[in-house]
Structure 1
Amino acid sequence: MGNGNLTYLLPDLQKAILETLTMLGIGLTTSTLLGGLIGIYLYLWGQERLLKNSFLHFLVGGLVNIIRSFPFVILMIAAGPFARIVVGTTIGPIAATVPLSIAGTAYFARLVELALLDVPRGTIEAAQSMGATLPKIVFSVLLREARAGLILGFTTLSISYLSYSAAAGIIGGGGVGDLAIRYGYYRFQKDIMIVTVIGLVLFVQIIQMLGNTISRRLDKR
């Protein structure tokens, strides 16, 4: 019966994988762009010699912390009305990218800020003494020096996204998680559950190995 389950569900499995990749693609892109921008500004607002602004740092940083404190399942439910406004529905992989993007943006913003904090102040001061503009410092100094840490941060974000996307199946978000819940849990088809879990574990290992490899190659310290 086990092999029969897998053969019969092969089209559903392929669809679930495509839905998961869709969630990852849209969510990671949005979170990387927005979270990266917020993380850079959080860093700049916290630095005396750059764009020191304690109020904005406290306000935006507090908002980031509030979003990060929400359990993802609760955030998915709370973001339902916003998802309906943005994409017109609260069900399906596209709708699931809305709470995924919100959670990922806050998460990656902190990872970016922490990576930039590892850049030696002496390097920044040297660039300032040479008359470098703020955009030049950000793109040619900060992001360049922190690139290894940023890659590791993106790797961590990607792995977290994979687990978030699996949880999206609870509210009909689709994807591999939804398949595992519908067939592996509710219908007690353990072979489906085992295959999906093994697939997710292998995917995580691949992402982590790629991230570690790229980060080591970029780390010039």
Structure 2
Amino acid sequence: MTNTLIADGTVTLASRTDWSVLKPILWQSIGQTLEMVCITLVVGGILGLVLGVFLYGTRPGNLFENAVVYRILDIIVNIVRPIPFIIFLAAMQPVTIAVIGTSIGTSAAIFPMCVMCTFATSRLVEQNLVPVDPGVIEAARSMGASKLRIIWSVLIPEALAPLILAYAFLFISVLDMSAMAGYIGGGGLGNFAIAYGYQKFDQTVTWTAVIIMIVLVQVVQAIANAIAKHLLKR
């Protein structure tokens, strides 16, 4: 420990960065972040895809046209999506306890993350399906293809490239959610940056966590861009 004199003359304690202690905590935090993000993207991404297709399909003039159902789903999605995730965590606490059995820890963070991701994904999916040429769908219908077959063999493949880019954008949002998991003991890089960086006035620790998250985003975005570019050339 070293004494540090700040501008107003007050003496405070600042710790030197001890990576022999922090390194295992950092690796654990990276693992917790990847666990939260991957599970959320898989569960929320799949459920959101289904909900997004249903939103698109029930729109007026589409495969499952139902104005009442579409309006209800549209309102629900519009209610949930704008809620700041930290507030959503608090609001979901009773439901999280009922489903998970606790409101503290990584699992307790993953559940509300999956719920929020589902609604966020559904809107992204709907928005990327809307531009699909209706003529392609009508051609498939005229050939006798079932509605489900049209969805999986025509609709989604036609919008696959923008959907992949949308999911890359979603990764950033989910990573942002995971950074707030520390507030309920979920761990992760966000908690690492706050507990061992910000609260201990150690910018090296804080920026280490920031750089790792930036690298994760860049890698995922680069992969998504490459896949989307390949699909668009086909």
Which TM-score band applies after superposition, normalised by the shorter structure? Answer: over 0.9
Mapping of 1:38-53 within 5 angstroms? 38-53=51-66
Matched residue of 2:103: which SS? coil
TM-score, with normalisation over the residues of structure 1?
A: 0.95
Mapping of 1:163-178 within 5 angstroms? 163-178=176-191
- CA distance in 2 between partners of 1:31 and 1:176 (Å): 21
Q: Deviations over 1:131-175 (max 9, x none)?
A: 111011101100111111111111111111111101221332211
- CA distance in 2 between partners of 1:145 and 1:91 (Å): 42
Q: Whose helix fraction is larger, Structure 1's or Structure 2's? A: 1
What amino acid maps onto 1:60 in structure 2?
L
- CA distance in 1 between partners of 2:19 and 2:209 (Å): 11
Corresponding residue for 1:194?
207
| Conserved? CA contact 1:108–1:157, under 8 Å | yes
Q: Deviations over 1:16-47 (max 9, x none)?
A: 11111110121111111110100000000004
| Conserved? CA contact 1:159–1:207, under 8 Å | no
The size of the alignment, in residue pairs, is 221
CA gap 1:113/1:66 in 2 versus in 1, 3 angstroms: same
TM-score, with normalisation over the residues of structure 2?
A: 0.90
Matched residue of 2:180: which SS? helix
Unaligned runs of 5+ in 2: 2-14
- CA distance in 2 between partners of 1:219 and 1:142 (Å): 15
- CA distance in 2 between partners of 1:17 and 1:61 (Å): 35
Corresponding residue for 1:36?
49
Identity across the alignment (%): 41
Corresponding residue for 1:207?
220
Matched residue of 2:27: which SS? helix
- CA distance in 2 between partners of 1:218 and 1:6 (Å): 44
Selected match of 1:143 from 153, 156, 162 = 156
Mapping of 1:66-105 within 5 angstroms? 66-105=79-118
Matched residue of 2:81: which SS? helix
What amino acid maps onto 1:208 in structure 2?
Q
Corresponding residue for 2:134?
121
